[in-house]
Amino acid sequence: MKNYENLNVSLSEGILLIEINRPKALNALNRKTLEELDDVFNFARGSDEVMGVILTGAGDKSFVAGADITEIKKLNTYEGIEFAKFGQGIFRKIETLGKVVVAAINGFALGGGCELAMSCSVRFASENAKLGQPEVKLGLIPGYGGTQRLVRLIGKGRALKLLLTGDMVDAKEAFEVGLVDAVFPHENLIEESKKFLKRVFKNSPLACKLVLDAVNGGEELELDAALQVEANLFGISAGSQDAKEGITAFLEKRSPNFSGK
Ligand code: CO8
């Protein structure tokens, strides 16, 4: 596995564990860290050994405390647009990886950190997690998709409440509004994330990829077009070796042995 300056990365049992590690800035995303995330997610996409990803923050206090404020301070208008698009491109790659990405939110997920978590397939939080979009307190607005994904995830009114106040919510409240999908004791967060992925891995890898493609590909379309996307992807699943195996195994009352084809 490659060595990174601001990421700890390990691969075991098909799970790529990525820890963002910039303790002096509560794991805030500077350009270097974003470049490294881009690189490691390119690896995750291309590697057959990687079946799923857990993205978390190093240490006990922070997932990611935002984009690096010291770098934002130096941006002019055009650089701001470029830097926002740069991060948005990487986050979109994470969202459309075609493999399940769990955001294991182990502390602060603020600004760009909350936006990063929202780009993942699911969000699991530890009891000490705090999430929010505090950009307005800095005279900024979110630039890595926060004004768009938060609305889609929790609805316009609740999103605007968070975006306009800059308030943080704790794990319980984040769960209640649908910003996180489960809450675990801090010490169990990574284990529970692994357990979830292992449950996913028991299913057909092809079918799971097609579910991700159908959800991500259909989300922004009007219903008839989205249903056509689903029908096409259903057809691919129906014609697959995994479907033949899964259905045969069901009828023979045995466990399936999926090949991912
Ligand atoms: N960037 C850079 N450094 C940071 C950041 C950050 N986002 N967050 C914390 N740090 C640094 C602090 O400056 C401090 O450094 P030092 O020890 O050198 O003073 C160190 O981390 C520890 O932080 P604190 O002492 O503040 O720790 P506390 O426990 O007292 O507070 C908080 C923790 C509440 C998380 C607090 O640090 C905080 O409010 N941080 C800022 C959170 C924030 O506003 N995030 C949003 C940033 S803007 C953004 O993400 C926009 C995204 C889109 C950008 C698009 C284009 C660029």
Looking at the fold, whether 236 and 171 belong to one and the same domain comes out as no
| Structural domains counted in the chain | 2
Instruction: Decide if 257 is inside a domain.
Output: no
Please tell me the predicted confidence (pLDDT) of residue 217.
93
Looking at the fold, whether 163 and 238 belong to one and the same domain comes out as no
Q: Which one of the listed residues 49, 71, 79, 135 is annotated catalytic?
A: 135
Looking at the fold, whether 235 and 157 belong to one and the same domain comes out as no
Radius of gyration of the chain (CA): 19
Backbone angles phi, psi at 131, to 5 degrees: -120, 150
Please tell me the predicted confidence (pLDDT) of residue 27.
98
pLDDT tens-digit map of 128-141: 999 999 999 999 99
Instruction: Decide if 73 is inside a domain.
Output: yes
Looking at the fold, whether 86 and 63 belong to one and the same domain comes out as yes
Looking at the fold, whether 175 and 226 belong to one and the same domain comes out as no
Please tell me the predicted confidence (pLDDT) of residue 150.
98
Q: Give the distance (Å) from ligand 1 centre to CA of residue 88.
A: 20
User: What CATH number does residue 153 fall under?
Assistant: 3.90.226.10
Instruction: Decide if 106 is inside a domain.
Output: yes
Low-confidence residues in the chain, pLDDT < 70: none
Strands (E), the chain: 7-12, 15-20, 52-57, 62-64, 100-105, 108-110, 122-126, 130-132, 168-170, 182-184
Q: Give the distance (Å) from ligand 1 centre to CA of residue 75.
A: 17
Instruction: Decide if 96 is inside a domain.
Output: yes
Instruction: Decide if 111 is inside a domain.
Output: yes
The pTM for the full model equals 0.97
Ordered DSSP codes for 50-101: --EEEEEESSSSEEE--B-HHHHTT--HHHHHHHHHHHHHHHHHHHTSSSEE
Minimal-distance CA residue to ligand 1 atom 30: 26
Looking at the fold, whether 119 and 191 belong to one and the same domain comes out as yes
Q: Which one of the listed residues 115, 176, 219, 222 is annotated catalytic?
A: 115
CB–CB of 258/242 below 8 Å? yes
Q: Are strands 130-132 and 168-170 parallel, antiparallel or unpaired?
A: antiparallel
Looking at the fold, whether 62 and 138 belong to one and the same domain comes out as yes
Strands (E), 172-246: 182-184
Minimal-distance CA residue to ligand 1 atom 12: 25
Instruction: Decide if 261 is inside a domain.
Output: no
User: What CATH number does residue 210 fall under?
Assistant: 1.10.12
- Residue 166 Cα: closest atom of ligand 1: 44
Please tell me the predicted confidence (pLDDT) of residue 1.
85
Question: Residues with Cβ within 6 A of ligand 1?
Answer: 25-26, 28, 65-70, 72, 83-84, 87, 108, 110-112, 134-135, 138, 140, 142-144
Domain that holds residue 209: 205-251
Looking at the fold, whether 110 and 174 belong to one and the same domain comes out as yes
